[in-house]
Amino acid sequence: MAKAHQLAQAHFQTAVAEAALGEVELARGRLDAVTALRGYDLLAMARTAAAFVDSLTLVTGNEWVTGKPLAKAMEQTESLDERVPPERALTLRLMSAWSSKDPASFDALFTAAAGDPGAADHVRDLFVFALEWARDKAASASNPQSLVHAVCTALKEHGPSMWPWKRPPE
């Protein structure tokens, strides 16, 4: 009886908990429910993933795509596309836009990737990246419950919450 966006939110929360406990492959399997969404629902879940990762780190703006503070980034000669796989390059660009408080750029980048039938791995990688952060944060002594709380907070602020969660009348 649950709607697709409701299942996706529950699966993403569970995936974060599983990743925090080291069950990354099991967690990745849950991402199918998230990446099956379309339109606003998928974009809202992407915003949720970006907000979740952003809440776990102090890295901001250009540091995501260069790996260095802005002053040192100007000296870098190797491009992002040469250093990482294409799907991770998109994810880092998305995180750069999100952490720079540039939601219009984030939305445009993500929507373009989501609209490309050949870019399914690119779209999925943002969610995989969030799971990797959850695993790494939990490994450094973070409580898995605090990570689930962080993803719930991100869902409340950015997720597809305009639809009711109440059961339809029978």
- Is residue 117 within 8 A of residue 80, CB to CB? The reply is no
Report the SS3 class of residue 161: coil
- Is residue 35 within 8 A of residue 150, CB to CB? The reply is no
Model confidence band, residue 137 (pLDDT cutoffs 50, 70, 90): confident
The reported pLDDT for the residue numbered 7 is 87
Out of 10-19, 127-136, 147-156, least confident range: 147-156
Model confidence band, residue 170 (pLDDT cutoffs 50, 70, 90): low
- The more confidently predicted of residues 23 and 142 is 23
- Is residue 121 within 8 A of residue 28, CB to CB? The reply is no
The per-residue pLDDT for range 47-72, each reduced to its tens digit, is 999 999 999 888 777 788 876 554 45
- The more confidently predicted of residues 102 and 120 is 102
The reported pLDDT for the residue numbered 164 is 56
Once rounded to an integer, what is the mean pLDDT over residues 27-40? Answer: 91
The reported pLDDT for the residue numbered 75 is 56
Residue with tokens 């907000």: 51
